[in-house]
Structure 1
Amino acid sequence: MTSDTEKAKEFYNVLFGWTYEAGDEETYGGYITASKDGKLVAGIMQKQADMGAMPDLWSTYLRTDDIKATTEAAAANGGQVYMEPMDVPEQGSMAMYGDSSGASIGAWQFGQMKGFEVAAEPGSPAWHELLAKDYDSAVSFYQKVFGWDTNVMSDTPEFRYTTLGAGDNAKAGIMDAAGVLSDEVPSMWSVYFAVENTDATVEQALALGATVMHAAEETPFGRLATLIDPTGAVFKIIQDTGQSA
Structure 2
Amino acid sequence: MAHDLAAAQDFYAAVLGWRYKPGIQGRGNYAVALVHGSPVAGLAAGARLMGFPVCWTAYFAAASANRTADRVHERGATIAVGPIPFGRGRVLWAADPDNAVFGIWEGEVDPDWRAGRHAGVPARLELRTRDPFASALFYGGVFDWDVQRGEGRESIDIGYEDDRVVLRIADEPVADLLGGAVEAAPDPRVRPQWHVYFRVDSTDAAAAAALAAGGTIVSPPDDSPFGRTAALRDPEGGLFHVSEPEG
TM-score, normalized by the shorter chain, greater than 0.5: yes
Give the AA of the match of 1:10.
Answer: D
In structure 1, what is the equivalent of residue 206 of structure 2? Answer: 201
What's the CA shift string for 1:153-189, capped at 9, x where partnerless? 24xxxx7411112794221111113136523432100
Q: Distance in 1 between matches of 2:91 and 2:13?
A: 26
Give the drift of 1:119. 4.4
- Aligned equivalents of 2:49, 2:226: Cα separation in 1: 39
Consecutive unaligned residues of structure 1, counting only runs of 5 or more, are none
- Aligned residues of 2:72 and 2:78 also touching (Cα < 8 A): yes
1:46 aligned partner, one-letter code = A
Q: CA, structure 1 residues 17+180, in 2 after alignment: closer, same or farther (shift >3 Å)?
A: farther
In structure 2, relative to structure 1, the CA distance for the partners of 1:197 and 1:112 (3 Å cut) is closer
Matched residue, 1:32: 31
CA deviation map 1:88-119 (0-9, x unaligned):
24x21111111122100100112365683324
Q: 1:218/1:197 Cα in 2 relative to 1: closer, same or farther (>3 Å)?
A: same
Match of 1:182 in 2: 187
TM-score under structure 2 length normalisation: 0.86
Worse-superposed segment, 116-125 or 180-189: 180-189
Distance in 2 (alpha carbons) for counterparts of 1:30 and 1:93: 18
1:133 to 118, 130, 133: 130
Letter of the 1:65 counterpart? A
Q: 1:153 aligns to what? A: 160
Where does residue 142 of structure 1 map in the other structure? 139
TM-score (norm 1): 0.87
Alignment RMSD (CA, Å)? 2.3
Instruction: Show the counterpart of 2:237.
Output: 232
Q: How many residues align?
A: 235
User: Who is 1:218 aligned against?
Assistant: 223
3-state SS of 2:135 partner: helix
For structure 1, which segment, 15-24 or 5-14, has the greater mean C-alpha deviation from structure 2 after superposition?
Answer: 15-24
Instruction: Give the gaps of 5 or more residues in structure 2.
Output: 147-156
Q: Percent identity?
A: 29
Distance, in Å, in 2 between the alignment partners of 1:166 and 1:113 is: 17
CA distance in 2, matches of 1:9, 1:38: 16
The amino acid that maps onto 2:7 is K
